Each structure stands twice: as structure tokens, then as C-alpha cells.
Amino acid sequence: MSGSPVTLVGLWAGYDGEPVLRGVDLEAPGGKITAVLGPSGCGKTTLLKAIAGLVDVMSGHVLFGDRDVTGLPPEKRNVGMVFQDLALFPHMNVYDNVAFGLRVRGVSEGEVRRRVKWALELVGLDPGEFAGRKVTELSGGQRQRVALARALVVEPEVLLMDEPLAHLDYKIRQRLVWELRRLQRRLSATVIYVTHDQWEAMELADKLAVMRDGIVVQSGSPEEVYENPADEFVATFFGDANLVPGELLGVEGGKFIVRPEDVELHPPDWREPIEGFVVEGVIEDRVFQGPMVRFEVRVNGVVLRSLVPRSYASRLPSRGPVKVYIPFASLKRVKVPGGVG
């Protein structure tokens, strides 16, 4: 299985004549994972449905490689989809759930058996143990694997996933994220993965697309989006960020962002370097987070968040005066959504 790139060009789509997507442009590279994230109601699920052919496209184009599929019905697009609610058939056993798409396509039963066995083994379910079990007897993680096997068994050109891990507990989600990434690398599949979880997106994706109000406001690698957000919305939505008024830094106007891990705290007698801004602050709160400790520090009326390695945090007071050091290189001037910063 080797997936095609997916390109959306000026895509307007919605329901009953009302647009949800408003001119989306996006390139999802073939054989890679593109994660789409944004707040509720921004159009993430509608974007997946437009790619799958499940929603009306008002204008624009959907391309798989060089092939324009905009006018094709879903069954002609060779797309696999894993929904948030998984949409498994409770009256069917695991085997029949996975086989469903193949049978709809008229695949022979001999080939169905071969491919169902392959798909279950691919997602880590022993066919001998699980094929005959009812899906209602499975754990959440096992049901997720069945849904993934059902999507993969038809060998789709593009695999679409709509928040498939949202209802699982943290440990299972973490394990499945790792396994999904490993599986995608093995198959070289093109995956478009919708999520509201920024950390899940960073762990999984080769490319990110951040949406707001029916458009893609920024796309790029996780590193690019994290380190160079397009505006204040992206900066605060994707990753934690301090918004620092320029006046606090002695700069006229505008806002800057600095990530908490780039806000350094030091004892009051620390010798100042020359590569950044150094200001006096007061620690107001300290929260233990395992390998890191989060501090909230008030600087001239502005509260900054700082993430400090646990080994160094022991040198700092729980409350009281500190020196706050922000390297020049970590400061990024950002635009306000809809305007210029």
C-alpha cells in the first residue's frame, strides 16, 4: 500500500447550501501523516468528509495525486475512514466487521479470508482469538484496532481518521499513537488525521494544518508551526505560549510570544548574560509535573509561565523573588488574528 498525495484547492464545502469550509488550500504529502487540528466547530470533520465525498462541495477541487476526484461518489474514491465513534456493527463479529467493505466491493470469499487475516494481524489482533468474538465483548483499545483493520483491509489510497482515540484513556492512547505511527511507516499510507489534541498531533504528524473558522491558517512541519506560529491564535492554540507585551521588554508596541521552556528562572544573585532580556520577577506558584516543574512568575504586572527541569527547580524558591531571563532568539513577534501585531 502506497498512498497518493491529497491536494485541496480553494475548497468551499458545507451542508444545505451553508459553507463550513471557506476556501481551504492544503497539500497532504503522499505516504505521510498530516494532522488537522483546531477548536470545535472550525471545520475539521467537514474537511475529512469533503475528501471522502460525504459532503457537498460548492467550489474548488479535491485531488488524489493528479486525479481530480471532486465529482466522484465515495465508493469511487478508494478512501478508508475511521470515525470517532468507530461505527462498528454491534450485531456482527470481528471478522464480519472487517470483511464488510470487501464484501460490498464484491471480493471473493477466499480473498476476503486472506485479507481479513492480514489486516487483523497487522493491527496486532490474533485472528484465531478475535475473529469470532462480538465487538461488544472487546475493550476500547481492541475495538479501535478492529475499526483500523476494517479501514486498512480495502487497501485505501487515502486513510482518513476523525479523532479515533478521543474516548480512550491516556495510557492506551499513548500506546496506540506509537503503534499507528509504526504501522503507517510500514505501509507508506497517506493519512489525514483530525484531532483536537496538540500533543497527539505532534507525536504523530509529519505535517500539521491548523484550522480556524473554516480555513487553514497555517501548515507545515510540527517544528515549523511550533517555533514560528503565524499569529497569536496559532501560538496559543498549538502549544503553551506566553504573550508578552513589547513594553515589558522595552520594545515599542506589538506582542511577542515565548514558550514556557524558554523562560529561564535564576536566583536573585545570578550574574546577568548579554544575549537576552533580564528582568526581576516574583514566583507566585509552583506545580510539579514529573520531569518538569511549572512556575508562574509575575513581572511588572504580567504573569509568565516557565517550565524548568526538575533537577534545576530544586535551586529555586517555591515563592519569592527571582531573575527571569528570556533569550533574544526565543522571542517571536506575532500577529493578532485578523490584524497585524
* Mean pLDDT, range 34-50, rounded to an integer: 95
* Residues 282, 287, 38: CA angle, nearest 5 degrees: 105
Evaluate if residue 2 carries a pLDDT over 70. Answer: no
78, 56, 68, 47: which is closest to 161 by C-alpha? 47
* Mean pLDDT, range 29-52, rounded to an integer: 95
Q: Which residue has better confidence, 269 or 116? A: 116
267, 275, 283, 254: which is closest to 326 by C-alpha? 275
Least confident of 9-18, 121-130, 174-183: 174-183
Domains held by the chain: number: 2
Tell whether 218 and 162 lie within a shared domain: yes
CATH number at residue 195: 3.40.50.300
Q: Is residue 99 part of a domain?
A: yes
CATH number at residue 278: 2.40.50.100
For residue 291, the one-letter residue type is: P
Evaluate if residue 1 carries a pLDDT over 70. Answer: no
Evaluate if residue 183 carries a pLDDT over 70. Answer: yes
Identify the bridge partners of residue 207 per DSSP, sorted by sequence position: 34
Tell whether 146 and 272 lie within a shared domain: no
How many C-beta neighbours within 10 Å does residue 171 have?
9
Question: Are the beta carbons of 182 and 195 closer than 8 angstroms?
Answer: no
Of 236, 267, 284, the one marking the end of a domain is: 236
Q: Which residue has better confidence, 341 or 122? A: 122
Phi and psi of 249, rounded to 5°? -100, 5
Confidence of residue 341 (pLDDT cuts 50, 70, 90): very low
- Domain that includes residue 261, residue range: 241-334
Helix (H) or strand (E) segment spanning residue 28: strand 18-28
pLDDT digits (tens, 9 = 90+) for 57-110: 999 999 999 999 999 999 889 898 888 777 888 999 999 999 998 998 899 999
Tell whether 199 and 258 lie within a shared domain: no
pLDDT, residue 339, reads 47
pLDDT digits (tens, 9 = 90+) for 193-245: 999 888 889 999 999 999 999 999 999 999 999 999 988 899 988 888 998 88
Indicate the average pLDDT of the chain: 90
Tell whether 24 and 170 lie within a shared domain: yes
Least confident of 29-38, 51-60, 228-237: 228-237
Evaluate if residue 336 carries a pLDDT over 70. Answer: no
Tell whether 287 and 171 lie within a shared domain: no
Of 236, 253, 272, the one marking the end of a domain is: 236
Question: Are the beta carbons of 35 and 9 closer than 8 angstroms?
Answer: no
